[in-house]
Amino acid sequence: MLTLLTLTGCSRAPVNSPHTRGDETENVLRTAFTQRSPKYLDPATSYSTDETPFTYSIYEPLYGYHYLKRPYELIPKAAAEIATPVYLDAEGNVLPQDVAGEEVAISVLDIPIKPGILYQPHPAFAQDEQGNYRYWPIEPQALAHKYGMDDFAHTGSRELTAHDYVYAIKRLASPRVISPIFELLAGHIEGMRDFGEALREEDAKKRAALGDKRARAEWLDLREKNLKGVQALDDHTLRIRVLGKYPQFNYWLAMTFTAPIPWEADRFYHQPGMAEQNLSLNTWPVGTGPYMLTESLINRRHVLSRNPNYRGEPYPCEGEEGDAEAGLLEDCGKPTPFIDKIEFSLEKESVPLMGKFLQGYYDIPEVGRGDYGVSMQVAAGDYVEKARLYKDRNIQILSTPAAQQYYFGFNWKDPVVGQGDTPEAQEKNRKLRHAISIAFDWEQYVSIFQNDQAQVAHGPVPPGVAGYQPPPEGANPYVYDVVDGMVQRKSLDEAKALLKEAGYPNGRDATTGEPLILHFDSAGGTGSSAVLDWMRRQLGELGIQLEIRATDYNRFQEKMRRGTAQMYMWGWVADYPDAENFLFLLYGPHAKADQGGENASNYQSDVFDRGFEQMRYLDDGPEKDEIIHAMVAQAQYDAPWMFGFFPNSGGAWHGWVGNAKPTQMVRNTLQYYRVDPALRAASIRSWNAPVRWPLFVLGGLLVLGIAFIVVAARRRDQRSARFSYVKEGA
């Protein structure tokens, strides 16, 4: 019975909950991470998706994206407004706003910073009564038992200034940092490349004089070093001088690469002993955002807590069609963030993670992962019991086409499927590409291999990006017909007719009679898979034979660099929501084989390139859209790609999580979520109520067992007594 009571008492707390009992009633959002702890939280070096829920919650770039609007709209964050550039010619004269982009030598951005923004409490800012920094300098032995910021008794704060953005951009050029974004920004910010070279030369001299270890141990104070293209005109005005006219530069100011870094934090962490205690901007960042890192147990648990100094940016009051009906505007104007803490717990395996999510122990499986919503929608479509479970538990499963594309490319240098050397060859090869494009049924591909969780592409610009034109207006006229407003893939007979016009009737060379054999370079390392078999069947409908050249990914990349692959399939994920970020994949000067760029098909078109050079100078609007549509039409005609598909991206949220909306581009989503702890607690109790009847059965069995033992013992005693009596009587 004691065992029964013990088991009954234990059953009150579910043994697989990753949280302390009672935490479900707190204003805390619980989620998981499955790979490793975030490695780089220094904004100058962080470039991994699993780090962005932290960096975009802690740091504040100058600009950001409207949480609800689609296409994505750039909005000011720490900046007071989106700066209007002033254009200068080579002599420094001011040019009119409508000047041709080719005439602009420098674009000057004077960006106003909102006053009164404060940094989170941090020991780097702590000062004593005399105004001296408490933890500068600090002796290494004083760090012996300090592993996090809560191990320092004193903290401080100060106001964000334009100087912090100057310092942050200078750090991108530092040889002590090695930022992945330096080369790109050095091509756009005046003087940045020379600034980086000067820093490298200075660092080399120090290493030669002091040795590598001592030189790197010294703090590199960047405050007095001049970078011509980035200056603070005053505490609340940042000036950036951009080379030429480049409106897309604003998108880089929405990334945490250009988030502010206070010099005090850089100096604080660059002290002897800090690295040995794993104390750095990579592990304990310092920002002005809505949250701050307050707990960090490597590969176990991390906690973001509300920044007490955050100003409370209001929740948006506008969105796209359907947002109001979905309840996404109910918090209009209310100060964010709504949640006090975000807890991230390690879950090494996906199965227990999803099990705990379905039990309510996680509010979101993983923040920032776009595959959960897609996979759960597929599961709900395949299994009735899954669909019923998700519905009964009011799980929000949402997805939307991502700013991402998978495309099938033809190598423009190839004599068979490429451009061709003569006008006759160009016409012949173009018809071959169109015939193949018709035969490849991408609707079927999406249904089979993407479980209908993707959108067939008609061009290189995805939904959600300005310039995208949905079908039927944007339909590819060389592959589809529009009948009664509906898009229909052209018939296989039309593809065969084009193939014959290309000189390959029934898939054979009209001159030699030899079969047409095309080659697909696979990056998967195997020549046999369901996808490759499907591709063979598509071309087989035209009588074309497809041979697979399977290699590992490194070898595949080498083929692409050399321009030796005939046909291939690749993908692209947008860094920023501008058509340029996709159209440059077809821009001639970016050809991979000749220039080392990202134009993997090595496509060359004077018409397309002229459009690209015009488009990149324009702000979003009708004129830019018109040029984009003309470029897409040219690419549809030339067919350097079969445009493939735009995959869906989405998420899963419990019903008690408010303001959930799938997005790939908005990274600071934690700021806008809210939770209903009471509903969560009630749901967890309901879904995980202990099943007690087995315990009572066990208890009954125990009672019967005890009774049996007692009866058996009595009978044994009786037999023993009878035996003794008989023996003594004998």
Parse the chain into domains and list their residue ranges. Answer: 2-12+693-729, 38-283, 404-649
Rounded to whole angstroms, the Cα distance separating 661 from 84 reads 30
Verify cis geometry, omega within 30 degrees of 0, for the bond prior to 71.
yes
| Mean of the per-residue pLDDT values of the chain | 91
Per the document, the length of the chain is 730
Placement of tokens 């420094």 in the chain: 92
Does the pLDDT at position 13 exceed 50?
Answer: no
Does the pLDDT at position 713 exceed 70?
Answer: no
What per-residue confidence (pLDDT) applies to 5? 44
Percent of the chain with pLDDT over 90: 75
Angle (deg, nearest 10), helices 442-449 and 530-540: 160
Does the pLDDT at position 156 exceed 60?
Answer: yes
Cα 484–Cα 488–Cα 492 angle in degrees, nearest 5: 135
Tell me the H-state helices in 525-605: 530-540, 553-562, 580-583, 592-595
CA atoms within 13 A on the CB side of 6: 3
Query: pLDDT by residue (tens digit) across 133-153?
Result: 999 999 999 999 999 999 999
What per-residue confidence (pLDDT) applies to 238? 98
Does the pLDDT at position 346 exceed 90?
Answer: yes
- Read off the pLDDT of each residue in 385-403 and give the average, rounded to a whole number: 91
What per-residue confidence (pLDDT) applies to 692? 64
Placement of tokens 């054979």 in the chain: 508
Amino acid at 220: L
- Read off the pLDDT of each residue in 553-580 and give the average, rounded to a whole number: 92
Domain 38-283 has CATH 3.90.76.10: yes
At 399, the pLDDT band (50, 70, 90 cuts) reads confident
Find out whether 116 and 311 touch, Cβ atoms under 8 Å.
Answer: yes
What per-residue confidence (pLDDT) applies to 551? 85
CATH superfamily, domain 404-649, is: Dipeptide-binding Protein; Domain 3 (3.10.105.10)
Does the pLDDT at position 578 exceed 80?
Answer: yes
What per-residue confidence (pLDDT) applies to 710? 63
Q: Which residues of 333-372 are buried (b: 16+ CB within 10 A; e: fewer)?
A: eeebbbbebbbbbbbeeeeebbebbbbbbbbbbbbbbbbb
What per-residue confidence (pLDDT) applies to 216? 73
**How far apart, in Å, are the Cα atoms of 536 and each of 153, 476, 680?**
68, 23, 51
Q: Which residues are paired to 658 by β-bridges?
A: 674
- Read off the pLDDT of each residue in 295-316 and give the average, rounded to a whole number: 96
Say if residue 510 is exposed, middle or buried (CB neighbours under 10 Å; 0-12, 13-18, 19+).
exposed
What per-residue confidence (pLDDT) applies to 719? 60
Query: pLDDT by residue (tens digit) across 182-195?
Result: 998 999 999 999 99
Does the pLDDT at position 15 exceed 80?
Answer: no
Q: Model-level pTM?
A: 0.85
**How far apart, in Å, are the Cα atoms of 19 and each of 303, 355, 431?**
13, 14, 62
Among the ranges given (272-286, 514-528, 619-633), the one the predictor scored with the smallest mean pLDDT: 514-528
Q: What is the 3-state secondary structure (H, E, C) of 179-232?
A: CCCHHHHHCCECCHHHHHHHHHHHHHHHHHHHCHHHHHHCCCCCCCCCCCCEEE
At 527, the pLDDT band (50, 70, 90 cuts) reads low
What per-residue confidence (pLDDT) applies to 525? 61
Query: In terms of pLDDT, which residue wins out, 489 or 698?
Result: 489
